[in-house]
C-alpha cells in the first residue's frame, strides 16, 4: 500500500464535498474556489465521460438536476455540455456557470488543494474513464496530491492497473457496499458514510492500515466526535463550519 504521509501530514483533512456546495453550485469552479477560500485542505469531485470522451465534472449521470438541460451527459458532446447553465438552479447569482472539465478544475486549484477524484461508473466493463483520469492526473503532475475513489470496485481495480502510484479509496454505505469485490485487493483508504464509523470501526481500520475519509458531515458536533475518533478526513458541504468546529480540538 502506498504511503500517504505527504498528503495528511499528521492532521485531519477537511474536504469540500463537490466544493463548498452549501454556498455555491456543486462541482463547479466557483464551488471549488470557495472551498479553497474557506480554508479547506482539499475538495471532492465526481467525473465521467462526455459523448466525445472528455472528462466532465458532474455528480449525476444526467444533467437534469443541476443544469437547464435534460438527458444523460454521455449523450452530449463537451461543446454541447458547455452551452448548459449549471448555476441558475442553485441561485440566480451563479447564472451562466458552466460544467467544468477535470482539466479545468486541475488548472484552477490543482496546485493548491488535495483532490479526491470520484470515478462515476456503474458497469462491469470500462468506457475508458479510468485511463482518461490517469492521463489527466499525469498531464497536470498531480500524482502526489490526488486520491481516486469509487463505489465501483471494478473501476478501482482498473485504475490501479493503469496508475499504481496514485492512492485509491473505496466508497461505500449501508445501502451500497460491494466490498467483497475488493477482497485481498490492496487499497489505501476506506470512504465510508459517516454513520458506519464508531470506535470499533476505527480500531479495525487502523489494524488493517486503512486511512478513513468519511462523508458527508455537516453537523459540527458529529465532526468533533469523528475527529476525536481519529478519522483522517471529513468530506463536507460546508468546509468553514467543520473547520471552525474542530479548531482547537485535541485527540
The b/e string for 43-78 (b: 16+ C-beta within 10 A; e otherwise) is bbbbbbbbeeebbbbbbbebbeebbebeeebeebeb
125 three-state secondary structure: coil
Burial tier of 122 (Cβ tally within 10 Å: 0-12, 13-18, 19+): exposed
Q: Which residues are catalytic?
A: 17, 59
Residue 63 near residue 76 (C-beta atoms within 8 A): yes
Among 176, 137, 173, CA closest to 47:
137
Q: Which three cell numbers stand for residue 104?
A: 479545468
User: Length of the chain in residues, anyone?
Assistant: 251
- Looking at the chain, the number of H-run helices and the number of E-run strands are 9, 9
Alpha helices in the chain (DSSP H): 5-8, 29-37, 78-81, 102-109, 129-140, 153-162, 199-207, 220-229, 239-246
Burial of 195 (0-12, 13-18, 19+ CB in 10 A): exposed
Q: Which residue has the cell 464508531?
A: 198
Q: Which residue(s) pair with 214 in the sheet?
A: 234
Amino acid at each position: 500500500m502506498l504511503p500517504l504521509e505527504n498528503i495528511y501530514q499528521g492532521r485531519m483533512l477537511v474536504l469540500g464535498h463537490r466544493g463548498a456546495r452549501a454556498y455555491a453550485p456543486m462541482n463547479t469552479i466557483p464551488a471549488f474556489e470557495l472551498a479553497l477560500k474557506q480554508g479547506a485542505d482539499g475538495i471532492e469531485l465526481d467525473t465521467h465521460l462526455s459523448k466525445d470522451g472528455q472528462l466532465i465534472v458532474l455528480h449525476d449521470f444526467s444533467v437534469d438536476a443541476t443544469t437547464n438541460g435534460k438527458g444523460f451527459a454521455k449523450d452530449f458532446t463537451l461543446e454541447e455540455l458547455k452551452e448548459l447553465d449549471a448555476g441558475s438552479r442553485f441561485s440566480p447569482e451563479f447564472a451562466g456557470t458552466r460544467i467544468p472539465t477535470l482539466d479545468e478544475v486541475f488548472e484552477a486549484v490543482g496546485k493548491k488543494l488535495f483532490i479526491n477524484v470520484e470515478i462515476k461508473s456503474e458497469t462491469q466493463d470500462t468506457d475508458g474513464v479510468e485511463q482518461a483520469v490517469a492521463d489527466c492526473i499525469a498531464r497536470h503532475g498531480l500524482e502526489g496530491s490526488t486520491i481516486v475513489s469509487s463505489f465501483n470496485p471494478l473501476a478501482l481495480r482498473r485504475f490501479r492497473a493503469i496508475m499504481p502510484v496514485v492512492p485509491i479509496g473505496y466508497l461505500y454505505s449501508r445501502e451500497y457496499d460491494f466490498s467483497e469485490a475488493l477482497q485481498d485487493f490492496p487499497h489505501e483508504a476506506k470512504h465510508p458514510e459517516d454513520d458506519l464509523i464508531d470506535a470499533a470501526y476505527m480500531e479495525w481500520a487502523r489494524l488493517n492500515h486503512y486511512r478513513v475519509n468519511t462523508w458527508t458531515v455537516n453537523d459540527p458536533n458529529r465532526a468533533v466526535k469523528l475527529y476525536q475518533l481519529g478519522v483522517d478526513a471529513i468530506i463536507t458541504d460546508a468546509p468553514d463550519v467543520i473547520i471552525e468546529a474542530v479548531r482547537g480540538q485535541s485527540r
